[in-house]
C-alpha cells in the first residue's frame, strides 16, 4: 500500500470493516445535471453492498435507480487529527423482489425519517477505496 505524510490507503477489507462501524454516510449523485450529496443512514449487506431505505416516490430513488453513484462514510476525531474516509462506487438499484425486500426488512434496516411506501436501495460495491489519516502535530 502506498503511504504518504500521515495518510494510508486502506484495502477493500479494511474499508468494509470500517463502513460496518458507522450508521450514516452520504449518497453522491447527480440532480438536475449538478452534483448532489445527501446524508442517509445505511447498513452493509452480506454481499458487501450498501443498503438504504427511503420512500418509493422520493426524488432520490428517481435520481439514482439504475445509475452509477458514489457513497461515502467517514469518522474523524478533530482533537487527534485522525480518522478515515471510505468511498463505495457502484450501480444503485431499487430492490423490487418481494423476498429480498422481506429479508432486508427483517434485517432491521429502517430509515431514520418517517417514510411512505418504503423501498430499499442497494448500491453495489464495484469499487471500494479508503484512506486513513493518522494524527499529525498541529501547525505552528
pLDDT at 2: 46
Does the pLDDT of residue 126 top 80, yes or no? Answer: yes
Q: What are the pLDDT digits (tens) for 10-56?
A: 999 999 999 999 999 999 999 989 999 999 999 999 999 999 998 88
**What is the pTM assigned to this prediction?**
0.88
Can you tell me the mean pLDDT for 1-18? 83
Domain residue ranges in the chain: 3-133
pLDDT at 139: 54
pLDDT at 58: 87
Fold of the 3-133 domain: Pnp Oxidase; Chain A (2.30.110)
The pLDDT-based confidence of 93 (bands split at 50, 70, 90) is: very high
The pLDDT-based confidence of 4 (bands split at 50, 70, 90) is: low
Can you tell me the mean pLDDT for 125-133? 97
Does the pLDDT of residue 140 top 60, yes or no? Answer: no
For residues 86 and 129, give the distance between their C-alpha atoms in angstroms, rounded to a whole number.
Answer: 6
The pLDDT-based confidence of 124 (bands split at 50, 70, 90) is: very high
Does the pLDDT of residue 1 top 50, yes or no? Answer: no
DSSP assignment string, the chain: --EETTEEEE-HHHHHHHHTT-SEEEEEEEETTEEEEEEEE-EE-TTS-EEEEEETT-HHHHHHTTSEEEEEEEEEETTTTEEEEEEEEEEEEE---HHHHHHHHHTT---SS--SSEEEEEE--SEEEEEEE---PPP-
Amino acid at each position: 500500500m502506498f503511504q504518504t505524510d500521515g495518510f494510508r490507503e486502506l484495502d477493500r477489507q479494511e474499508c468494509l470493516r470500517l463502513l460496518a462501524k458507522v450508521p450514516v454516510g452520504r449518497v453522491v449523485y447527480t440532480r438536475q445535471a449538478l452534483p448532489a450529496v445527501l446524508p442517509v443512514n445505511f447498513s452493509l449487506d452480506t454481499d458487501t453492498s450498501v443498503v438504504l431505505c427511503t420512500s418509493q416516490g422520493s426524488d432520490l430513488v428517481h435520481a439514482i435507480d439504475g445509475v452509477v453513484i458514489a457513497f461515502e462514510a467517514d469518522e474523524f476525531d478533530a482533537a487527534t487529527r485522525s480518522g478515515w474516509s471510505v468511498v463505495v462506487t457502484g450501480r444503485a438499484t431499487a430492490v423490487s423482489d418481494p423476498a429480498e425486500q422481506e429479508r432486508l426488512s427483517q434485517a432491521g434496516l429502517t430509515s431514520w425519517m418517517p417514510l411512505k411506501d418504503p423501498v430499499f436501495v442497494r448500491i453495489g460495491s464495484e469499487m471500494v477505496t479508503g484512506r486513513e489519516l493518522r494524527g499529525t502535530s498541529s501547525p505552528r
